[in-house]
């Protein structure tokens, strides 16, 4: 809901205000971004160019959030700030700040250079380590004195459990905070359930989307699965001897992107 809220409100803000900048892509989905740009918003990730551009009066902070330093720069620039950070991400940011103030070493399970992770690590001062997979967990610095584990909200829940297990063996006193988004997890669980009822799964989204990649990786463990962004990515030959097709989209996948592919598949007589 945080992503959908940010998407809807950013378009409303763009329609109501001229000279409005969106600080980076609102979501990792080029179809959604196309709608954003068509609403009149300008997308820019360069904080310096935004601050120094006197023509820009309004700045939207996207669902991924930003670091305290970036937010401070924006507010000092005297521009109107619309903070559309996902409430769940905001909770992780504030938790990170609290843990950092308590002198914990914060282990962040997430994607390096992902905007949400960049924002979160800004709340961790200098006491943080980013790990992206089980290999990173196994090779972590073992001299940490007071470590805690948190996660980027859209990471794979199965991997989070695996990494938690590895780190708990290394640091028996480790405190684990499951900061994964429940809505993302529910979507993944429903898609997994659906995958047991069909002959082929199609995961729809943008290949830059962390939560959609996570969804794809989970579903393909159960059934043949393809990741598509648009109709041209679909190989019709895959539908041979497949009577039931399951569709799933990530948190950042707009409804119309799913509906377009759904209608295309329904036009094929060989599937239901």
**pLDDT, mean of each 10-residue run, the chain (272 residues):** 80 86 84 82 91 92 93 92 94 97 96 94 92 97 96 91 97 97 87 95 90 90 94 90 91 87 83 50
Is CATH 3.40.1010.20 the classification given to domain 182-266?
yes
Q: Residues near 114 by Cβ (< 8 Å), separated by ≥ 6? A: 64, 152, 210
Q: Residues near 202 by Cβ (< 8 Å), separated by ≥ 6? A: 225, 226, 228, 234, 245, 246, 247, 248, 261, 265
**What are the sequence ranges of the domains in the chain?**
2-85, 88-176, 182-266
Could you tell me how many residues make up the chain? 272
Neighbouring C-beta atoms of residue 8, cutoff 10 Å: 11
253, with CB counted inside 10 A (0-12, 13-18, 19+), is buried
Q: Are 67 and 122 in contact (CB under 8 A)?
A: yes
pLDDT of residue 133: 95
Q: Are 140 and 107 in contact (CB under 8 A)?
A: yes
Q: Do domains 2-85 and 88-176 have the same CATH topology?
A: no
Annotation: CATH topology of 88-176: Cobalt-precorrin-4 Transmethylase; domain 1 (3.40.1010)
Beta strands 200-204 and 245-249 are parallel
Q: What are phi and psi of 248, to 5 degrees?
A: -145, 145
Selected catalytic residue, list 71, 105, 116, 229: 116
CA distance 26 to 60: 9
Is CATH 3.40.50.11270 the classification given to domain 2-85?
yes
pLDDT of residue 126: 80
pLDDT of residue 269: 64
259 catalytically annotated: no
pLDDT of residue 160: 95
pLDDT of residue 270: 54
Tell whether pTM > 0.85: no
């Amino acid at each position: 809901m945080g992503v959908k809220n940010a998407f809807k409100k950013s378009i409303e803000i763009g329609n109501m205000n001229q000279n409005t900048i969106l600080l980076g892509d609102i979501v990792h989905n080029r179809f959604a971004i196309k709608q954003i740009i068509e609403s009149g918003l300008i997308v820019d990730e360069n904080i310096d160019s935004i601050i120094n551009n006197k023509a820009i009066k309004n700045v939207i902070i996207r669902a991924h959030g930003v670091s305290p330093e970036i937010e401070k720069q924006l507010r000092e620039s005297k521009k109107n700030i619309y903070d559309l950070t996902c409430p769940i991400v905001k909770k992780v940011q504030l938790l990170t700040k609290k843990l950092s103030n308590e002198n914990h070493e914060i282990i962040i399970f997430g994607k390096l250079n992902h905007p949400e992770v960049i924002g979160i690590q800004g709340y961790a001062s200098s006491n943080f380590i980013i790990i992206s997979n089980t290999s990173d967990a196994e090779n972590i610095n073992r001299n940490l004195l007071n470590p805690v584990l948190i996660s980027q909200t859209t990471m794979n829940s199965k991997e989070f459990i695996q990494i938690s297990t590895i780190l708990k063996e290394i640091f028996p006193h480790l405190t684990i905070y499951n900061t994964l988004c429940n809505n993302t997890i529910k979507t993944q669980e429903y898609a997994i359930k659906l995958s047991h009822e069909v002959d082929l799964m199609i995961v729809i989204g943008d290949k830059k989307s962390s939560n959609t990649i996570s969804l794809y990786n989970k579903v393909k463990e159960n059934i043949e699965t393809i990741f598509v962004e648009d109709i041209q990515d679909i190989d019709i030959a895959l539908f041979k001897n497949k009577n039931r097709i399951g569709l799933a989209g990530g948190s950042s996948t707009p409804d119309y992107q799913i509906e377009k592919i759904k209608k295309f598949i329904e036009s094929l007589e060989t599937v239901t």
